[in-house]
Amino acid sequence: MSAVSVTVPSRRQKWIAGTVVIIYALVTIMPLLWIIATGFKTPSDAISYPPKVIFQPSLEGYVNLFTTRSRVAPDTLAALGEPTTWYDRIVRQYDMVITGPSRYGARFLNSVIIGFGSTFLSVFLGTIAAYAFSRFKVPLKDDLMFFVLSTRMMPPIAVAIPIFLMYRQLGLSDTHLGMILLYTAVNLSLSVWLLKGFIDEIPVEYEEAALIDGYTRFQAFVKVVLPQAATGIASTAIFCLIFAWNEYAFAVLLTSGIAQTAPPFIPTIIGTGGKDWPAVAAGATLFLLPVMVFTILLRRHLLRGITFGAVRK
Amino acid sequence: MSEPLSQRAATATPPVLAHRIRGLSDRAIAWIFVAPTIALLLAVNIFPLIWTIRLSLTNYRSNRPNAPVKWVGLENYQKILHDPDIWNTFQVTAHFLIWTLVLQVLLGFGLAYLINKKFRGNDLWTTIIVLPMMLSPAVVGNFWTFLYQPQIGLFNYVIAFFTGADPSSFSMIGDVGLAPWAIVIVDTWMWTPFVMLICLAGLRSIPPSIYEAAECDRASKWRQFWTITLPMVLPFLMLAVLFRGIENFKMFDLVVQLTGGGPGSTTELTSINLKREAFEKWRTGYASAYAVILFVTVFGLASIYVKALNKVKDR
Amino acid sequence: MKSKLLFSAAAAAFVAGATGAKAEDLTLCWAAWDPANALIELSKEYEAQSGNTMHYEFVPWTSFADRMLNELNSGGHLCDLMIGDSQWIGGAAENGQYIKLNDFFDANGIKMDDFIPATVVGYAEWPKNTPNYYALPAFADVVGWTYRKDWFARPELQAEFKAKYGYDLAPPATFAQLKDIAEFFQGREIDGKKVYGAYIYTERGSEGITMGAMDVLYSYGFKYQNPDKPYDMEGFVNSPGAIAGLEYYKALYDCCTAPGMSNAYMGEGVDAFKSGQVAMQMNFTFTWPGFNTDPNVGGDKTGYFPNPAGPDGEQFAQLGGQGISVVAASSKQAAALDYIKWFAQPSVQAKWWQLGGYSALKSVVDAPDFATSQPYAQAFLDSMAIVKDFWAEPSYAALLQASQKRFHDYVVAGQGTAKEALDGLVADWTEVFKEDGKL
């Protein structure tokens, strides 16, 4: 941070660097902006050639995302009378009526339940395990820590083969509990490694002082270490949540409906006939936005999270 | 600061507290705290792994729970190692792995180098660049098929705009020659920021005093780059390559959504191939052997690599 | 009117109460497509009558088999009723995933003789051609073709075609003619828009390219096995005729399809045809009611024809369609059977056809006015008369994976020759049957 004159880049260098990076950023953000924009197009605008940059915004994608619709005969349609709501009006243009809600809401809710459930569990277990690894002599500690990590090296499909059989036996296939346990196990490696790093950074003297003041070890952990580690726990939680939120391979193999999360569902959104890209884009937008917000909140801790704490700055 | 992961546990632990006052003994607490994690990992990782190894020696099929299971010894392994299709998927995976790593290292390092010039607003732009890697690969990959559509897709349109080609004259995910590059492009788009962030940390860890000393020695900028910047960033870069390497060896979601392994089998990565064997053909025993082979491969390669990384660090 | 409705509702409630059945939530699993929406419409009557509530899990075709076979194999509890694809029946029957319906049919007077024979064999029986039923034919379907009647009728195109090929531009009777016509339209400007000759299946992930290629191969002399010796495939799967058929499919793909159609199945076909991009389109007949009412290509603009004949005059078509089954893992089997009982009634089946569902009940399709009831009805009947289906063995998925790979590698990726592809297919299939202990 304290750069001295000779190593400070010149204005010209800064200007060039800035321009190149900004161009790259604009290019890289294009697909994301395109997803958001497509969500507000009509299906015909979405597939027009050349691609439309300026268009009349429409909520059709969102209406289609949240409803199921059915085409009805013109005379039946006429008998129904004037549409009463704005979303009815959108659907009626295509001689269709809304027949009910789509499953997007339920799948989104599954993502929330499984995401938060597994995050809570893995952070809870990870915190206490990390504390133990950080402060105590645990036999075979290095091996255990490495073992925790190695679970991340397996391709998820390979892990899913025995899990599939196990869950079939236990009746955990396509259940929220099954997915929460699985994601917890996968996230534990991340949370143990990250949290151990955070707890390592808390000076041992604080606890020693507490112990001398008559705290039990457990009290010292709860009243001294946990508050100190709060930021670390929070950022670890967000990383676990993002993993569970984004996960696809396990979800597609181990759930089929009841506990299916949004990532395997969104690509299967179709309209009548072909693919309804505005609805897909609308679903993707709603699903991706929370992560974008979290990323911005997390930006100071990003590096640590993505490298399992190996790089901490 | 960066340390090989395998050493962190050992080196970063502060001195153990000698105190043992009232309440549960430290030993008891240590066990109570570690036990649930170990138990869960045993149940969801170790036990299944042992089961996989067991299954890999049988002809079990999970869509035939009632059929008799035969012990076939190492036959599955033998079949896999002699299957040209599987060697093909290994080649496809290698192509994907090498090119994504090359592009991501070059772009990621380049970007980090430029961002390190600390121009105004570099924080904001860094955050924007980072966004793609945090998103769900399946959801984003699915949308990229839309961007790649001939004629109506944004990607084809932009390429056509700059090259003058007809946007319907090429299909990134439909053409045998282009599809392997289509997946490389999307992966690079998603994960360059990962390499970039790690390189940035490396660049920022170099104390300015080193450059000042070099400046006094009248070393050229070029020379400074080769003798100071690059060697100092190298361990970071290698760590980034390790992470990306493992991740892309496991790659499934993004590519399955983009191409599904096609056209033909030109983008059939090992994970996709494994999924076909395990969950479409339901050859559980065979797929288990396949999984064991993959696990050994990734574990072996990673261990060798970590050794190399440690050497570079110690230098 | 209102009081009558109330009365019947009360009566239904009374009957339900008397038989001790309580209102159940039933989940029916099927593919996400137009007929599924028609079934929702149709089932409203059942819901009112029985007091049961119907829920639906519809999955797009390209992931339908993947998801639902996974559901069946994992013993999941998502589906009570499954309208599963015809080829699943062997596996589902042998592994006890569907319940056997013979006793239920007998008890309720449902006779399989009342259904189109090809659909009974295709959708309900396992082993094939034995009276063991695991499903009730629910939706008859077959691959056929649609064409742009309005383009074919243009005098200038008619004249140009006749001059070039020496015969009239009309729906093709043979595959050779089909290719002529496709070439004729390929790249042509019609009403200021560039159009393409034909749309055919090329999808890799599920079953697309197999359904499309087989649809052609059958008429070229492809046979799954030696009729006298089961599972003997050498010389039948890779007969010279079959090789010529696969070469034809590739030639058609190379010459006469729109760019980017390298991974296309039913949905892409519908889009391509509705947007006026192609002159002829291969697709399952379920798509036809949708074209007939489409604002762009509806009414007189679209014509329908069954699969044309091969070089030796043989003419077959790929069977689609499904039967409805009760999932063995379901805890609501009684209610699920009750639904099938309702669905099998002739009056319900007749309404099913009206709503766009292809009933497999003879009394519906043999009705004198059936052939003229819709512009596509005759082509549908003609197509249903010439069906063949893919393997329905318990190892169907492995067999399908092999053909998907071989066909896509050759047709789309252009690797190797047709003979190599089919020789390879024989080897793959032999391997599968060996592992099954059938060889």
SS3 of B19-37: CCCCCCCHHHHHHHHHHHH
pTM of the predicted model, to two decimals? 0.86
Among C91, C259, C401, whose Cβ lies nearest the Cβ of B63?
C91
Write down the pLDDT at residue C435. Answer: 84
A136: closest CA of chain C, how far (Å) = 42
Predicted pLDDT at C8? 43
Cα separation, C432 vs C426, whole angstroms = 10
Question: How does DSSP classify residue B1?
Answer: -
Decide if pLDDT at B12 tops 60: no
B235 contact partners, CB below 8 Å, separation of at least 6: B2, B202, B309, B312, B313
As a whole number, mean pLDDT of residues B91-116 equals 96
Hey, of B146, B161, B283, which one would you mutate to test binding to chain A, going by the most A CBs within 10 A of its CB?
Answer: B146
CA distances from B226 to B204, B219, B222, B235 (A): 16, 11, 7, 14
Query: Which residue of A196, A217, A240 is the best one to mutate when testing the B interface, meaning the one whose CB has the most B CBs within 10 A?
Result: A217
**pLDDT value, residue C6:** 42
Domains defined along chain A, listed by start: 105-268 (1.10.3720.10)
Percent share of chain B, pLDDT over 70: 92
CA B85/CA C82 separation, integer angstroms: 34
User: How deeply is B95 buried, as exposed, middle or buried, from its count of CB atoms within 10 A (0-12, 13-18, 19+)?
Assistant: middle
What are the two backbone dihedrals, phi and then psi, of residue A19, each rounded to the nearest 5 degrees? -60, -50
Q: What SS3 class is residue B165?
A: coil
pLDDT on residue C21: 53
Chosen for mutation from B139, B199, B286, B301 (greatest number of chain A CBs closer than 10 Å) is B139
Per-residue pLDDT band for A242 (boundaries 50, 70, 90) equals very high
Q: What mean pLDDT is reported for chain A?
A: 88
Q: Is residue B105 part of a domain?
A: yes
Task: Look at strands C278-284 and C196-199 and give their pairing.
Answer: parallel
Confidence of residue B62 (pLDDT cuts 50, 70, 90): confident
Q: Which of C37, C60, C274 sits opposite A70 (nearest CB)?
A: C37
- Tokens representing C314 are 């043989």
Q: Residue count of chain A, please give it.
A: 313
| Closest Cα in chain C, distance from residue B299 (Å) | 29
Gap between the Cα atoms of C113 and C362, Å rounded: 9
Check CB contact of B110 with chain C, cutoff 8 Å: no
Write out the two tokens for C379: 């082509």
Domains of chain C: 18-139+322-357 (3.40.190.10), 143-319+392-435 (3.40.190.10)
Q: Which residues have CB under 8 Å from B137's CB, separation 6+?
A: A246, A248, B190, B253, B254, B257
| Helix, strand, or coil (residue B175) | coil
The pLDDT value recorded for residue A299 is 83
Closest by Cβ to C32, choosing from A253, A257, A270: A270
Do C148 and C279 form a contact (C-beta atoms < 8 A)? Answer: yes
The single-letter DSSP state of residue A275 is: -
8 Å CB contact of A174 and C78: yes
Of residues A6 and A108, the one with the higher pLDDT is A108
Q: Tell me: the pLDDT tens digits for B162-182?
A: 998 888 788 888 888 999 999
The DSSP element (H or E) to which C193 belongs, if any, is strand C193-194
Residue A104: both structure tokens together: 């997007």
Structure tokens at C258: 């729109």
Confidence at residue C129, expressed as pLDDT on a 0 to 100 scale: 87
pLDDT of residue A7: 63
3-state DSSP: chain C helix, strand, coil percent, rounded to 5? 50, 15, 35
Contacts of A142 in chain B (CB under 8 A): 6, 9-10
Calpha distance C20→C16 (Å, rounded): 6
- Give the residue from A48, A110, A173 with the most C CB atoms within 10 Å of its CB, the best one to mutate: A173
User: Of C17, C16, C40, nearest to C28 (Cα)?
Assistant: C40
Q: Is residue B47 part of a domain?
A: no
Q: C64 to each of A238, B46, C68, C376, how far by Cα in Å? A: 34, 32, 6, 27
- Over residues A101-158, the pLDDT tens digits come to 889 999 999 999 999 999 999 999 999 999 999 988 877 777 777 777 777 788 899 9
Our CA-based measurement puts residue B79 at a distance from the nearest CA of chain C, in whole angstroms, of 12
Q: Please check whether residue B177 touches C, CB under 8 A.
A: no
**Has residue B265 been placed in a domain?**
yes
Residue B169 belongs to some domain of the structure: yes
Distance from CA of B177 to the nearest CA of A (A): 23
Q: What stretches of C218-265 show up as alpha helix (H) in DSSP?
A: 240-256
**Nearest Cα residue to B133 out of A291, C239, A300, A216:** A291
Is residue B9 over pLDDT 50? no
CB contact under 8 A, B154 and A295: no
Which of A7, A13, A21 has the highest number of chain B CBs within 10 A, making it the mutation to test binding with B?
A21
**Whole-angstrom Cα distance, residue B185 to residue A87?**
38
Residue C94: its chain B contacts at CB < 8 A? 64, 66
Cβ contact C94–B64 (<8 Å): yes
At residue B139 the predicted structure's pLDDT band, cuts being 50, 70 and 90, is very high
From chain B, the residues in CB contact with A299 under 8 A are 123, 126-127, 130
Residue B215 scores a pLDDT above 70: yes
The first and second tokens of residue A119, run together, are 């995050």
Q: Is the pLDDT of residue A50 over 50?
A: yes
Task: Give chain C's contact residues with B (Cβ, < 8 Å).
Answer: 66, 69-70, 73, 91, 94-96, 204-205, 259-263, 394-395, 397-398, 401, 405, 408-409, 412-415, 435
The residue type at A145? M
CA B102, chain centre distance (Å): 13
C209, C223, C253: which is closest to C426 by C-alpha?
C223
pLDDT tens by residue, A154-197: 889 998 999 999 998 898 989 999 999 999 999 998 899 899 98
Burial class (CB in 10 A: 0-12, 13-18, 19+), B120: exposed
Residue B10 lies in a domain: no
Residue of C nearest to A251 (CA): C67
- C-beta separation of C328 from C99 below 8 A: yes
Q: What is the mean pLDDT of residues A32-53?
A: 88
Q: Closest chain A residue to B216 measured between Cα atoms?
A: A6
**For residue B165, what pLDDT is reported?**
84
DSSP string for residues in C102-155: HHHHHHTT--GGGB-HHHIIIIIBSSTTSS-BS-EEEE--BEEEEEEHHHHT-H
Contact between residue C126 and residue C150 where contact means Cβ atoms under 8 Å apart: no
Residue B199's Cβ-side half-sphere holds a number of Cα atoms within 13 Å equal to: 25
Enter the DSSP assignment of B240.
H
In this prediction, residue B208 carries a pLDDT of: 87
Of A258, A268, A272, the CB nearest to C63: A268
The list of chain C residues with pLDDT below 70 reads 1-22
Residues in B 242-301 with any Cβ partner in A closer than 8 A: 243, 246, 249-250, 252-253, 257, 270-271, 274-275, 278-279, 284, 287-288, 290-291, 294-295, 298-299
What are the tens digits of pLDDT across the range A214-240?
Answer: 888 888 899 999 999 998 999 899 999
Determine the number of helices (DSSP H) and then strands (DSSP E) in chain B: 15, 0
- The minimum CA-CA distance between C290 and chain B, rounded to whole Å, is 24
Q: In what order do the strands lie in the sheet with C53-59?
A: C53-59, C25-31, C81-85, C322-326, C136-139
Which chains does C contact via 3+ CB–CB distances below 8 A? A, B
Q: Report d(CA B89, CA B68) in Å as an integer.
A: 31
Which of B134, B194, B216 to substitute to test the interface with A, most A CBs within 10 Å?
Answer: B134
Of all residues in chain C, the one with the smallest CA distance to A70 is C37
Pairing of strands C322-326, C136-139: antiparallel
All residues of chain C having their beta carbon less than 8 Å from the beta carbon of residue B262 are 204-205, 262-263, 408, 412-413
Instruction: Supply the CATH number for residue B260's domain.
Output: 1.10.3720.10
Q: Is B135 left (phi over 0), alpha (psi -120 to 50) or beta?
A: beta
Contact predicate C277/C256, CB 8 Å: no
State the nearest Cα–Cα gap between B115 and chain A, in angstroms. 7
Does residue B124 form part of some domain? yes
The DSSP call for residue C174 is: B
Q: Is residue B137 part of a domain?
A: yes
Structure token digits, residue C318: 């790929």
Q: What is the spatial distance between Cα C394 and Cα A283, in angstroms, rounded to a whole number?
A: 37
Q: What percent of chain A has pLDDT over 90?
A: 50
CB burial string A27-55: b at 16+ within 10 A, e below: ebebbbebbebbbbbbbebbbeeebbeee
Q: Count structural domains, chain B.
A: 1
For residue B3, the chain A residues in CB contact (below 8 A) are 310
CA triple C52-C79-C269, angle to 5 deg:
110
Residues paired with C27 in a beta bridge: C55
- Residue C299 confidence (pLDDT): 84
Does residue B168 sit at the C interface (CB-CB below 8 Å)? Answer: yes
Q: Which two tokens stand for residue C231?
A: 């599972």
Q: How many CB atoms lie within 10 A of CB C254?
A: 11
User: Across all residues in chain B, what is the average pLDDT?
Assistant: 87
- Mapping DSSP onto H, E and C, the string for C309-361 reads ECCCCCCCEEECCEEEEEECCCCCHHHHHHHHHHHCCHHHHHHHHHCCCCCCE
Choose among C67, C74, C267: nearest Cβ to A270. Answer: C267
End-to-end CA distance of chain C: 65
Closest by CA position to B29, among listed A185, A198, A133: A133
- The radius of gyration computed from the CA coordinates of chain A, to the nearest angstrom, equals 25
Angle at A125 between CA A119 and CA A130, to 5 degrees: 115
CB atoms within 10 A of CB A175: 18
Instruction: Nearest chain A residue to C34 by CA: give it.
Output: A272
Place of tokens 């809710």: A109
3-state helix, strand, coil in chain B (%, to 5): 70, 0, 30
What distance in Å separates the CA atoms of residue A130 and residue B35, rounded to the nearest whole number?
Answer: 12
Contact A237, A123 (CB under 8 A): yes
Distance CA A218, CA A213 (A): 13
Residue B220 belongs to what domain range?
A: 56-314
Tokens for C388?
């063949």
- B39 in a structural domain: no
Please tell me the predicted confidence (pLDDT) of residue A313: 57
> Where are any strands of DSSP class E within B152-265?
none
User: Does the pLDDT of residue B195 top 70, yes or no?
Assistant: yes
Q: Which pLDDT score, from 0 to 100, does residue B29 have?
A: 86
Two structure tokens written together for A306: 């993505």
